Amino acid sequence: QSVLTQPPSVSGAPGQRVTISCTGTSSNIGAGFDVHWYQQLPGTAPKLLIFGSTNRPSGVPDRFSGSKSGTSASLAITGLQTEDEAEYYCQSFDSSLSVPNFVFGSGTKVTVL
Amino acid sequence: QVHLVESGGGVVQPGRSLRLSCAASGFTFNSHGMHWVRQTPGKGLEWVAVVWHDGSNKYYADSVKGRFTISRDNSKNTLYLQMNNLRAEDTAVYFCAKGNLGHHFDYWGQGTLVTVSS
């Protein structure tokens, strides 16, 4: 059972816009901790897509954008492309324990129709 | 460029031990915290452990606490994960990941598969 909740799947046609939600609680996203997003193509390692809730690492297309509000965050992909078909995970930091705890979402499969 | 290469995975019987290694290059290894993250086949990601840049602090997920030990050798730019008393539920691909002050993982290795089975 993942600490952060994501929809299992989303889909869209090429060129469309899709969004993926990530819902947390008052001990992680709601406590003000940033949300980060990773893209995992089939058979590969996760790759950092968005950090600090809204920032893109160098080389990540500006079609990808992130936002955060309250206990939730979202990843938006505009101008969907076939190469965007992958699994996407959100991640944050959780303060419910007395020690560091890094938590992930359950993952969302993006399908390009 | 940053390069992380894991090794040491394999098939092991329940109750036995295994040590994973992660060779790092392309960045100042002794300036960054390092993590292990695992992914169960067909399932999601689970953070396993972190070690501070200088090895002074180590923290673990509850699921591995007392059985796994994370360590690093900054002279060799290498991260380790000693896994003892392995269980079937530890079967996963284990990734090493470079930590960032923003509590995220900015680079990942390709992963090494650990299978715990009799």
pLDDT in tens, A2-50: 889 999 999 999 999 999 999 999 999 999 999 999 999 998 999 999 9
Q: Which residue carries 């499969």 as its tokens?
A: A109
pLDDT, residue A2, reads 83
* pLDDT score at A25: 95
Q: Could you tell me if residue A63 is left (phi over 0), alpha (psi between -120 and 50 degrees) or otherwise beta? A: alpha
Report the phi/psi class of residue B33: left, alpha or beta, with left for phi > 0 and alpha for psi in -120 to 50.
beta
pLDDT for the residue numbered A96:
87
Cβ separation of B111 and A45 shorter than 8 Å?
Answer: yes
pLDDT tens, residue by residue, A55-102: 999 999 999 999 999 999 999 999 999 999 999 999 999 998 888 899
Nearest to B80 by CA among B112, B45, B107, B118: B112
Please give, rounded to a whole number of angstroms, the shortest distance from the CA of A81 to a CA of chain B.
24
The pLDDT value given to residue A97: 84
Asked if B59 and A103 come within 8 Å (Cβ–Cβ), the reply is: no
pLDDT of residue A1: 74
Q: pLDDT (tens digit, 0 to 9) for every residue of chain B, 118 residues total?
A: 999 999 999 999 999 999 999 999 999 999 999 999 999 977 789 999 999 999 999 999 999 999 999 999 999 999 999 999 999 999 999 999 999 987 999 999 999 999 999 9
- How many cross-chain Cβ pairs, A to B, lie less than 8 Å apart? 59
